[in-house]
Amino acid sequence: MYQSTVVVGHLGRDPEMRYTPDGTPVTTFSIATTRKWTNAEGEPQERTTWFRVTTWRKLAETCNQYLTKGRLVLVEGDIDASAWSDKTTGEARASLELRARNVRFLGGRGERLETGEEPGPGSEEEIPF
């Protein structure tokens, strides 16, 4: 059996890179996907879903070098969902984590991001895992 999930969204913050004890680079970042629609009463609706993304090795180094908050990306990988209760409020919580196999930087050359920075390399560069 095979599972693959594709998510397109904007980075919620700059990536964070660290190294495992054996020296393997790991970069994490979060992306937000927003769905907009009009309900039966004609009122606009919006729902944002956040994904935590983990990249490894060369892909981790590339993502850390070129991605910044606000950048539009397409991420393909395996998804893992987890649920827990908030310790302070007791509310049910859930998170979605995506282990990336491919990351594609979206947006055209010279396009300015919400942060005012220039995008990284290429207009749609795919970085394989």
pLDDT band at 84 (very low <50, low <70, confident <90, very high): confident
Q: Which two structure tokens, joined as six digits, stand for 13?
A: 């913050």
* Cβ contacts of 89 within 8 Å, gap of 6 or more: none
DSSP 88: T
Cα 65 to Cα 101: distance, rounded to the nearest angstrom: 17
Q: Assign residue 11 a region: left if phi > 0, alpha if psi is -120 to 50, beta otherwise?
A: beta
Cα 25 to Cα 57: distance, rounded to the nearest angstrom: 5
Q: Which two structure tokens, joined as six digits, stand for 36?
A: 């907009």
Q: 8-43, pLDDT tens digit by residue? A: 999 999 999 999 999 999 999 999 999 999 999 999
Which pTM value belongs to this model?
Answer: 0.73
Domains of the chain: 5-128 (2.40.50.140)
For the chain, give the number of residues. 129
Q: 40-54, pLDDT tens digit by residue? A: 999 999 999 999 999
**DSSP codes joined into one string, 14-32:** --EEEE-TT--EEEEEEEE
Element (H, E) at 105: strand 92-105
